[in-house]
């Protein structure tokens, strides 16, 4: 394999370790820079890879600390992994994305743009995180979710739908698939947003859903508690 900028690191056979993945232990190797690039200097030690297919030699991408990229996962362009963050399975971390602390991207997760992941965040399924989105504090984003623009997901919230604009999902909130949260919208405090929901707030009229509520939001219809959904189904969905 050839790289436009030439090789930038080597695998240190003397500093190998074992990482449990794919139902087996995988041998991984610490990397060492062999030229200067970005803020990395020749001789600097990096994180762990399984092979040089996990981390591109072009660009300023790098694994810092004890971060790790294995399997068919790849870190490329100018993406950075720090601390003990992990990219596994078929994950892709690229452009200017950054992963910190114990964050993890698995399965077919795709993180790019200027997205930031930190504090034990987990991204899985075929989820995409991009733009200036921030995920932290044990948030989970899974299935076919998309979190982008300036969206923020935090505090053990789980997102399986689409969250964008300046929307926030916080404090154990659960966002199901086939939902859209956008604009100035906040969902927090154990609230559950069911499939088919659409929340859109503005600076002059922000949307807020909080507390121990479970139901569906449709723009123009407001919040409908779960127990009332059956009687409202025809009105909302036209059937």
Provide the whole-model pTM.
0.90
pLDDT the model gives residue 78: 98
pLDDT the model gives residue 212: 76
Q: Per-domain residue ranges for the chain?
A: 149-239
Q: How many CB atoms lie within 10 A of CB 6?
A: 10
pLDDT the model gives residue 237: 39
Inter-CA distances, 166 with 1, 48, 112, 115, 185, Å: 42, 35, 18, 14, 7
DSSP 227: G
Q: Which residues of the chain have pLDDT under 50?
A: 232-239
> Which SS3 state, helix, strand or coil, does residue 233 take?
helix
């Amino acid at each position: 394999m050839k790289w436009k900028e030439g090789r930038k690191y080597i695998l240190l056979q003397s500093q190998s370790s074992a990482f449990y993945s794919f139902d087996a232990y995988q041998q991984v190797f610490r990397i060492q820079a062999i030229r200067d690039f970005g803020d990395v200097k020749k001789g600097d030690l990096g994180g762990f890879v399984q092979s040089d297919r996990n981390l591109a030699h072009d660009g300023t991408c790098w694994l810092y600390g004890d971060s790790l990229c294995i399997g068919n996962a790849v870190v490329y362009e100018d993406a950075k992994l720090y601390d003990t963050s992990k990219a596994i399975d078929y994950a892709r971390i690229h452009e200017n994305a950054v992963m910190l602390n114990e964050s993890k991207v698995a399965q077919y997760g795709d993180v790019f743009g200027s997205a930031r992941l930190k504090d034990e965040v987990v991204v899985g399924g075929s989820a995409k995180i991009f733009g200036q989105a921030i995920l932290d504090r044990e948030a989970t984003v899974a299935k076919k979710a998309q979190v982008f623009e300036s969206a923020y997901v935090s505090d053990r919230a789980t997102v399986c739908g689409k969250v964008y604009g300046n929307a926030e999902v916080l404090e154990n909130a659960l966002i199901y698939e086939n939902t859209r949260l956008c604009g100035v919208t906040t969902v927090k405090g154990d609230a559950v947003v069911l499939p088919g929901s659409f929340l859109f707030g503005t600076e002059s009229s922000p949307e807020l859903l909080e507390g121990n509520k479970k139901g569906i939001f449709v723009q123009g219809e407001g919040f409908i508690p779960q127990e009332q959904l059956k009687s409202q189904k025809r009105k909302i969905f036209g059937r």
